[in-house]
Amino acid sequence: MQLTVLGYWGGYPTKNEGTSSYLLESQGFHLLIDAGSASLISLENHLDPLNLDAVLLTHYHQDHIADVGVLQYTRQLKRMDHDERRAPILPIYGHQEDQENFQRLTMERVTEGIGYQEEEPLTVGPFGIQFMKTLHPVPCFALRITEESTGKVFVFTADSGYLPEFIPFSQDADVLLADTNFFEGMENHRVHMTSIEVARIAKEANVKKLILTHLPQEGDLELLKAQAVNEAPDLPVILAEKDLVIQI
């Protein structure tokens, strides 16, 4: 499978680049994971938004859903191949613990909100998806996604403070994409993790590659990365950046 980073800033966009959004592809199936600010513009560099097959949302904070509304308008207004054909109804997967936000995922004849639950793994196209509730001010779910044809595993922490449960959840993953909003010294925060915490999870879970994302706008990102490398010296550590493509 192939992962493309569309946006990676935590909280708000800056420097012409957006917040959390990732395109995961396998066997011609295109899954958008979170749709943060500026993600639709970024997606267009890789894929016509009409060719998305599904969207999966980790939680309903704006830096993860800001572009859902304009994605719905795109699918409503733009026609396929210059003819009058509409794009098919797009499934948008989200949790149902916040009904007001969940209801917004459905737009008649355009998108359909589909609920997921922590204890019920889903199959979406070529992907098997497991969920883990994170430590965050609103309900939020980490994702463990297995490409069923190859057994390759991609884990995304979504937004979270540190939880020891991330270690079994990330066990032997080929790629761990981790919320690294904080530098060393902010450990045990209840909203986001630090460079040290995500490196420790990756190391103890025997992850093969760690990508730092949900990055802070202030501070030296090379220092953030160096802190993670120092904690897990044998592990390849990569800073998320716009248009980064990783083969998993």
Applying CB under 5 A, the residues found at the interface with Zn ion are: 61, 63, 159
CB of 243 to Zn ion, least distance (A): 20
Closest separation in Å from C-beta 227 to Zn ion:
20
Q: In the complex with Zn ion, which residue's Cβ is closer, 65 or 207?
A: 65
Q: How far is the CB of 158 from Zn ion (least distance, A)?
A: 8
For residues 53 and 76, what is the distance between their CA atoms, to the nearest angstrom? 15
CB of 224 or CB of 232, closer to Zn ion: 224
Nearer to Zn ion, 67 or 159 (CB): 159
- Residue 179 C-beta: closest distance to Zn ion, Å: 7
Neighbour tally for 80: CB within 10 Å: 13
Choice between 61 and 75, CB closer to Zn ion: 61
DSSP 8-state assignment for residue 209: -
The phi-psi region of residue 15 (left if phi > 0; otherwise alpha if psi is between -120 and 50; otherwise beta) is: left
Q: 128 or 216, CB closer to Zn ion?
A: 216
Q: In angstroms, give the least distance from the CB of 35 to Zn ion.
A: 12
**Which residues make Cβ contacts (< 8 Å) with residue 15, sequence separation at least 6?**
none
Paired tokens of 158? 């979504």
Please answer whether residues 161 and 180 qualify as being in contact, where contact means their C-beta atoms are separated by less than 8 angstroms: no
What single DSSP character describes residue 89?
P
- The single-letter code of the amino acid at 244 is L
Give the nearer residue to Zn ion in terms of CB position, either 170 or 213.
213
Amino acid making up residue 100: E
Give least dist CB 128 to Zn ion, A.
25
Q: Quickly tell me which residue has 């917040």 as its tokens.
A: 19
Nearer to Zn ion, 71 or 142 (CB): 142
User: Is 28:126 a contact under the CB 8 Å cutoff?
Assistant: no
- DSSP three-state, residue 50: helix
- Least distance to Zn ion, CB of residue 194, Å: 15
Q: At what angle do helices 221-231 and 195-204 cross, to 10 degrees?
A: 30
